[in-house]
Amino acid sequence: MLMPKEEKRYFHLLSEYRDVFVGSYKEMPGLDPKVAIHNLAIRNGVSPKKQPKQHFRPQLIPEIEQEVNKLIDVRFIREVKYPTWIMNIVPMRKKSGQLHVCVDFRDLNDACKKMISRCQSLSL
């Protein structure tokens, strides 16, 4: 929670640099996907995991589809025909009531090599 003075400074900063911030995916046309693409360092011998299909309340499904379709439309995500790893989505409600779709990457995180940052390695 911000103090009133901090909140005022925060909104002033956002207003001053509003051309840098966006409110929706569609406000980011032409964003090169290479900016956010990286390769995972999966440990040798780890088999891909496919989480069991998760079932959602029927009234939630149209909202989930809408959010996923937004991400597909702006090419942040794409459909994969033959996935080797299958992770469930986790729909979360924001304070505003809007649905936010997250992904449960715990199995994938467990399969990846733990990287030691440069700062940590210097103190070893």
pLDDT (tens digit per residue) in 57-76: 999 999 999 999 988 888 78
- pLDDT mean over 94-103: 90
The answer to whether position 14 is within a domain reads no
The answer to whether position 83 is within a domain reads yes
- CATH number assigned to the domain comprising residue 114: 3.10.10.10
The answer to whether position 64 is within a domain reads yes
Q: What domain range includes position 55?
A: 36-122
Whether residue 25 has pLDDT greater than 70: no
The answer to whether position 65 is within a domain reads yes
The answer to whether position 60 is within a domain reads yes
pLDDT (tens digit per residue) in 35-49: 666 678 888 999 999
Q: What is the pLDDT of residue 48?
A: 92
Whether residue 33 has pLDDT greater than 70: no
The tokens for 87 are 């992770």
The answer to whether position 104 is within a domain reads yes
How many Cβ atoms from other residues are within 10 Å of residue 54's Cβ? 11
Closest CA to 88 of 71, 104, 107: 104
Whether residue 117 has pLDDT greater than 80: no
Whether residue 121 has pLDDT greater than 50: no
Q: Where are the alpha helices (DSSP H) in 1-124?
A: 4-16, 61-73, 106-111, 118-122
